[in-house]
Structure 1
């Protein structure tokens, strides 16, 4: 056993499990009420699959909206796939959970932000930094780039609140 408990890695895994469970529920039952999601992910992640024109347009990260129209939602242990509409052009996406940078449901002011780790091995987390969300990011969250998916003009998203797990540490 190592010198310390890697809380950062444990929190990231738990938050990804939460996203997986939410998406699994949506796959089975559809989106309830006014729920919808902004999911920002790393388009350069080696396992992300998207059309070349999308990766050219969003070379670092992309935010997709799961709201009015989506199809073929498949939820797996480590990833999900979905077909979304980009300017009347349905495009399939394959997104591993570890490529997700933010997950926001503005209808209930809920959001998660995953810290990016600058290390040689992206799967290892720095033992010194075990916080998944910094307090400075809690107040300043805005979804990154908006996607071309259809969002009706009268559906203005509410400000999302990012939950900081540091508040619950002793």
Structure 2
């Protein structure tokens, strides 16, 4: 089944404008001919409120149509997204007029935050950590909590072993195995 066309054409807004203008002329004639009674005057007032809402809606529809036209003209200017000859993010953006057409990964390590995924001449670091120099993720900060290395004793008489403990555990004194 074919999807209905949801873009607004100028003819659509012109047709709505004519309908609103017709409603306004009918109300003007109604007022000129006079009202039969208070109930008739109240109906006229209700229709005037509907006319006011219709004019407001028409202005919104016209603004939406103009915004759609501007968006469409930008897409036409860029043209269809092209597949660049290179795999890096910089070449992808350059080939597509500032738009990124896919997720770029380093061909060596497969990480998206590797500086080589951002630009093909950068060296591969083999890391997916945010904040690496030369990466498009350079401004990002790591969300992981820093780990503190701490020696803890295992079972009675066992040699101490290295054990990673988060700062929160260290402050609470629950070093995961210290009291076991």
**The structure with more helix, counted as a fraction of residues:** 2
Higher gyration radius (CA) = 2
TM-score normalized by the length of structure 2: 0.22
**The structure with more strand, counted as a fraction of residues:** 1
Instruction: Name which structure has the greater RCO, CA cutoff 8 Å, separation 6+.
Output: 1
